[in-house]
Amino acid sequence: HSVREGRLEHTLARDLVPGDTVCLAVGDRVPADLRLFEAVDLSIDESSLTGETAPCSKSTAPQPAATNGDLTSRSNIAFMGTLVRCGKAKGIVIGTGENSEFGEVFKMMQAEEAPKTPLQKSMDLLGKQLSLYSFGIIGVIMLVGWLQGKHILDMFTIGVSLAVAAIPEGLPIVVTVTLALGVMRMVKKRAIVKKLPIVETLGCCNVICSDKTGTLTKNEMTVTQIVTADGQHAEVTGVGYNRFGEVLLDGEVIHGYNNPSISKIVEAGCVCNDAVIRNNTLMGKPTEGALIALAMKMGLDGLQEDYLRKAEYPFSSEQKWMAVKCVHRTQQDKPEVCFMKGAYEQVIRYCTSYHCKGQTLPLGQQQREQYQQEKTSMGSAGLRVLALACGPELGQLSFLGLVGIIDPPRSGVKEAVTTLITSGVAIKMITGDSQETAVAIGMHTPLPCLSLLLNPSLGSVAVFYRASPRHKLKIIKSLQNNGAVVAMTGDGVNDAVALKAADIGVAMGQTGTDVCKEAADMILVDDDFQTIM
């Protein structure tokens, strides 16, 4: 939707020009780079451009010039190709097509030439050697014939005939057929190979660089830990926005209302929530989707329909909490119940008691210190921590507990990485995400030697964080200069340049962007990292 001459009208993205006003709503894909002048609770998923798993909160406040170099710090710009997760906004078009940040990456990709594969280099060398030997043979035969007194033209004809006979005419056919057979075997493993020589390159690859978001992980936030107010620690299995997984407490599966402390946390997270999951597709914020998925695993996802919402206090980046006032549909004559979720430091301020095995007990300093330690511990493990509470009024809430949310590794990735490392292949994770998240995923995967981006010794580094497209390109080039045959896997716009520069670029078929698939040499149809093996 764009505003022209004071009228709101539908406009194709290709028809937008700098100066147009564009209106954004939930679910919209941003059609061009926009400078925001109006934003209400706006969160945009920039994972395909920057690698950040968490949606970025946007505002209209001007940015200091010093921070303009970092895409993630430009909170007043909505970038082309990113997705609006929540809120609404208006912005003025400042860049379209090649003049947008998306276009800058595309221009970098076009300027980058794809390197020759090891097979192509070997064939080139063989061709040069055969040519050299052929000329040598012609020269020797002509010289011998001339010394024997034979006609020089006859000797030249004989020499050329011998040189032509030395050329293996069947070699290109044999190589092509062999590679075609390899491609057919790869198709059975659901991998589309765009260039024949890539099959051989995959076999001699000794370094695999992988993006994190959407490649090693599914880019779907998932609750993995629950800590109740009375000190119980539960683990949650499963990945993504679906009901596949279990809540385990000391090895025992918790379902429904088996455990009052855990079910109360799930109830609060489900009711104080605006997200919807349909057909394993999320509509809303990823963190809220993770809480709905948790309720689905517990069999409590119908709780949202059991309550009538009377009032709502929406989330904002300043207050860092959200609350709703509800009544149960079957008990509308009873007092309203308030549910709250948000950052621990903010939620605990509204709590005067805590929930303990179905009872409400006064909240003391000892409990506060214990919860703070739990929150710090979960945060250091790379988890996003949400606190939950409920009660009759905002100032009289009962603290329920904490949930830890992360975008976890895909199933099978850990085993694949372990197998590749034991086979002598070095695995390096290059992500635009934060240090804590990168290290947490690296330790789950498990990558052997964690280090930082600025370490000069690339060989020993396994995890690179806050990496831009230019950083990824430099890392690939440095590894190639050290003699490595490098494969790069990715799914976002920010991976496209590195995919083209690598000896073999591997794109994700389901979650990958069109730019990424265009730059890649091979596409994994079902996004399964194990196919690379």
- pLDDT tens sequence across 71-114: 667 888 999 988 888 888 999 999 988 888 888 888 887 777 77
Q: Structural domain tally of the chain?
A: 3
Same domain, 252 and 297: yes
Of 426, 470, 473, which Cα lies nearest the Cα of 451?
426
Residue that terminates a domain, selected from 96, 111, 126: 111
DSSP lists the bridge partners of residue 399 as 354, 389
Residue 140 located in a structural domain:
no
How would you class 368 by CB atoms within 10 Å of its CB: exposed for 0-12, middle for 13-18, buried for 19 or more?
Answer: middle
Three-state SS at 221: coil
Report pLDDT for 452: 43
Closest CA to 24 of 73, 75, 74, 92: 92
Q: Which domain holds residue 97?
A: 2-111
pLDDT of amino acid 450: 44
Spell out, as residue ranges, where the chain has pLDDT lower than 70.
Answer: 65-72, 317, 446-460, 533
Show which of 67, 89, 111 is a domain's final residue. Answer: 111
Does a structural domain hold residue 485? yes
Tell me the C-alpha distance between 51 and 211, whole Å: 8
Residue 241 lies in a domain: yes
Q: What is the pLDDT of residue 451?
A: 43
Alpha carbon distance 175, 297 (integer Å): 52
pTM of the model: 0.73
Strands 486-490 and 207-210 turn out to be parallel
Closest by CA to 102, choosing from 526, 514, 529, 430, is 514
Pick from 100, 116, 134: which is nearest to 14 by CA?
A: 100
Do 446 and 514 belong together in one domain? yes
Residues 327 and 418 in one domain: no
Task: Compute the radius of gyration of the chain from its Cα atoms.
Answer: 30
Active site residues: 211
Domain presence at residue 196: no
Task: Tell me if 211 sits within 8 A of 490, measured CB to CB.
Answer: yes
Statement to judge: residues 208 and 317 lie in one domain? no
230 and 366 together in one domain: yes
- Decide which of 376, 391, 406 is a domain's last residue: 406
